[in-house]
Structure 1
Amino acid sequence: MITPDANRSRIMRAVKSANTAPELAVRRLLFSLGYRYRLHRKDLPGSPDIVFAGRRKVIFVHGCFWHGHDCKRGARAPKTNAEYWRSKITRNIERDRRNAAALRDQGWRSLTLWECEIGDREKLVTMLRDFLE
């Protein structure tokens, strides 16, 4: 029998930070629209998910829960160890703001796409084209 702590550890180990399903969906869409990009540049603040070096633009694809989005999914309160997770998500939000500011200071523009926005293809195409053109 798996203990609750062991089960939670297994679940948390499975959470990815790169190449997530929403990120892959955005990448496939960008490629189909004719845009070419680089991935996860470690030399830029926040290691952006998608990088357009020639345009000096980057895209972050954030999970609503992990980055504290104000949508229904992002506003869910953790049921266990709630204080730890509230603190963790607050730190993530602050880190995201610092990274965006550092990118701006270096002359980069950034776009944050939220997990909940990925499903509306037409809206997503418009957002991406507006940002990249």
Structure 2
Amino acid sequence: MPNTVQEAKRYLNNAKEILREKARKEDGYYQDKKYVKLAGHAAYTGVLVALDALFDEKSKKRKDVDWYKERLSKMDKKVLNAFNGAYDTLHLAMGYDGNPISDVSKAGLETAESIINWVETRTAVA
């Protein structure tokens, strides 16, 4: 199980590195949407990898966002709220729209990190 949480953290670290090294932040805005999008996708993937580890999901078939929401709603409403925020911020605002506001990316990455850390504590107890 730790390997999957480690994999999730690797995705998150890649997202941070993409923003830091390639997106060119100036005055609180990223100058290159392409890299904001890549970072958003990487961080969101990290969240999904962590949740798949928690739910012990080995299937390679694609699951929609409602699949995750349904499971989280039965476990922890606070994390469900964080997941909804991660979906909106990482997947939609960053991943699709390339939102250039650096504080949006920062909040999204912090949310992703909190979900991954939550999963890590849940899987450490199991």
TM-score bin (small chain)? 0.3 to 0.5
Larger RCO: Structure 1 or Structure 2 (Cα < 8 Å, ≥ 6 residues apart)? 2
Hey, which of these two has a bigger chunk of strand by percent?
A: 1
- Scaled by the length of structure 1, the TM-score of the pair is 0.31
Greater Rg over alpha carbons, structure: 1
Hey, which of these two has a bigger chunk of helix by percent?
A: 2
